[in-house]
Structure 1
Amino acid sequence: MSGEPARRLVADLRVPGRVEAAFTAAPGEVLAVIGPNGAGKSTLLHALAGLVDVEGTALLAGTDLLGLPVRERRVGLVFQGQLLFPHLSALDNVAFGLRSRGTPRAAAESVARAWLDRFGVGDLAARRPRELSGGQAQRVAIARALATDPDVLLLDEPFTGLDVSVQMALRIELGRHLRDFAGIALLVTHDAIDALTLADRVLVLDGGRVAQSGAPAEVAAEPRTPHVARLVGLNLVDDGDQLIAFTPDAVVVSLAEPEGSSRLRWRGQVATVAPHGDAVRLLVHATPDLLADVTPAAATELGLAPGREVWLSAKATAVSRYAAR
């Protein structure tokens, strides 16, 4: 597998009733896969790894990964929740993939120790998974996936279940290793931070289909699904052949219908009221559901509470319009 064009992944996958996705990924690229629960994100990764029955093709260097036995796919997989072998030490967990391919023990352990050191857990090599914290165990799991020098690295929500501070530290570490990774990485995530800081491109799944793809900044600026809009903190309104996106702080909340032809307006019932930085954020059940940020003083003056009927409006100059596809 030599030369960048030859190592490009060209996939057209179908897991009947669950996901149907066509996409490409280049060597050295991190592709973030995002979408709501049940969109088919994990199923897509599991299809590439050979863990579910799948139709279609996934061509890498002219070879269809889907036609290869799982052990020959050169795919590394990191699940959410670590899933280390409980009876093996951290060192043996990381060396496992190499040993299963016939690498002599001493050589496999040398590679495993190097990867544990790179992730800052080399001193924990002799510990079993039950003796590791969540963050330590996930570092071992990622080291195990990278130790086999995979062509494709599949990361299925690797930060889920970890403390926020541990997530931040591990995100930085993983980002550093991904920058040096010559293969292709697919990262399933539900966090906009991951997509914006780790990914070169974003693939949006919705209802098992590809709804959008592009650079993270492009997807964040012009979201095409409500899930992505919420992920990046925007309101999204479908206006036929156009989509309208705007920030919650561009929304004016009033009890009476707003005046002025230059304003877009919606009426709805307040669903939730919660602090959001220096503001108070409202979720209003309008058509569609919308977010609005108001000052604490305005929230008190208007008596904003769940169940309150309100009007929402935004100036036409405060919204972004782009073609619906």
Structure 2
Amino acid sequence: MNNLIQNYKIILKELTNTCKYITTSKQIRLPKMSDLELVALNLTAEYMSINSELQLFRCISGTDLDGRIERSVYNKRKRKLFPYIEKIRETLSSKFSDFTDVFIVDSTPIEICKISRANRSAICSTDEIKPAYGYCAAQKSRYFGYKLHAVCDKNGIFHSFDFSPANVHDVNYLHDIKENFENCLLIGDRGYISKELQLDLFNYSKINLSVPMRKNQHNFVDFCKTKSKIRKRIETNISQLCGQFLININLAKTFQGLATRIVSKITSFTMIQYLNFFVFKRSLNKLKINLC
């Protein structure tokens, strides 16, 4: 993972092969670095755990990329390319869409600052979607920020994600899921218990929502061990996003910047999975392995 330029060239080559048809907004003056090259550099940095733009530009100093784009311009263009990066992620994940009809849904906290600083923090304070106080049952802790909702298949490929303030309950994300999925099994944790939504998902999109029962529920039945094992896949994915891709470290000041950072990390995650499976013919979820 130590050769940024070689990794960049591998990622750019595959992006060119799979996503060159995706269009972006026209620019009057053609930049030295194209949008696709900028995204390839961004994904490479995320894969290599380079979470700071200052560190990234130190790494490319003296290489072929040195002088092709300024740091401030890179930051501004990257934020504007949020829809473009999301289309690339959708294109990559669609390559795996026919492999399974079993999906897992879960959420993870996105802390923007410590609770002690929340009252005086200006991060995302002027945005339409404002941060809020929330509680993470898995970590048994309160936090201030947002919640990332995500759906991946049983192989670990992310197919959908969204953001909400931290105080929004997980079950509300199921309203979005029924528009994007159909004829599938969806496995969740106890945060998604809702008989009404379970029935609505099945009637609307033939989605079979399967969640473990609470022990105090009437006619309690143990959750299927096979489904419990499958559900651990998304927990591993989130752990990898926190560990290698540093998704739990926020350096953004606006929600647009935060959303762009997160979509870049998830797209980079999917890009490495794509390369592992289709190019290098190796284990899908070995994300720390060298590309070159």
TM-score for both structures, normalised by structure 1: 0.27
Structure with greater Cα Rg: 1
TM-score for both structures, normalised by structure 2: 0.29
